[in-house]
Structure 1
Amino acid sequence: MENNIRDLEQHITKVTVEIECLKKKPLVIQLDPHIVTATIAEDRKKKNECLQVMSKAFFEEGRVVSLGFALLENKIQDKENQIRLIKQSMAIMISKTQRYISHIIRKNNEIVGNMESDIHYMEYEYDRLERHFLQLQHTFSENKYFLNNELYNSNMQCQMLSDKLVNEIYTSAHKDKVLKKLKQKWVTANLQT
């Protein structure tokens, strides 16, 4: 079933989200899924609110995508404001990434239950993390000239940690170790019953 869901996700090329945050005209976002195009009403007072709502929608969906600031450049004339928004958005991404990595580390240390489903679950989680970082890397690459060193270094630290985790789960040695650990729990549980 999860394979079918993954296949379905791969075939989805565009998702349109309409957010009624403006009275005159809604903000329309199209995910492609790595590229974001946005049409924002000309009410300058509402532009910050629009971008905040847009970012929140992405993060709540569990997606890290290009914020498409290159495409928004013509809409936001104030360069300093544009750079500030990019930095804020990337800081949120990094914070969420650190929490997500912590979640996976915790899950990896709490493997219990049916061994096949547990291994499958962890592989799925690591695969999801790997895709997350590909998207994050894409966003950083697109906006690297706007970002400060602190944000860039924080992202690199996250990425190094994630690479280590991904490499661990995909090496046969680690899989054998996890399998042995799960098998021992399964045998012990059966002996007790």
Structure 2
Amino acid sequence: MPLPFLTADRAFDEAVDDQALPFDDRDRWRRPYRPGPWRVSAAAILLLLASYVLFAAVIITVAGTLAAGAVCFGLALCIIAGALRLLRMGTWVSGRGLRKVSFLATRTTPWEQVASARTVQQPVRWLGLPRTLQGQALVLERKGRASEAVLPLMTSHDADFLARPDAFDRATDTVEAWAAEYTR
């Protein structure tokens, strides 16, 4: 079964420098990078845990009560949904705007509200944990909201780009190209 949200479109990797937006269908939401090994590893471990919980649900249903097995089965479904949501997290672009998908919420900003998207040096969170260190972040500045705190769309030390500086540079360049194209 293909999982389109797991891999980035090949066109992002194969695009030449003079063609930053290599798509005919620009209204489709796309992630301009592949999920990083930290994110994929965490999702794989969660799916492995879900398989054990599903196996336990079968054993509990056969040996015990149906209600306890159903609770176990529901827990496994929650773990699977969490793993899939973890894989879906990141920054997505389309002709309609810029989308930041986090674990519990999704925030979409139309291109009409975007003033700029740029890479800055700033303290960033390491793998989303409270520990901060100096790194790079792609920040989105919205029109008419200069006093609003600017949250980074992606950082050089998150689960997708830790120890992958070239992938971070390619992804930020692509998002900045989309922003430059649509905020003229």
Fold agreement, TM-score > 0.5: no
Larger Rg: 1
Higher strand proportion: 2
Give the TM-score, by structure 2 length.
0.29
**Higher normalized contact order (CA 8 Å, seq sep 6+, divided by chain length):** 2
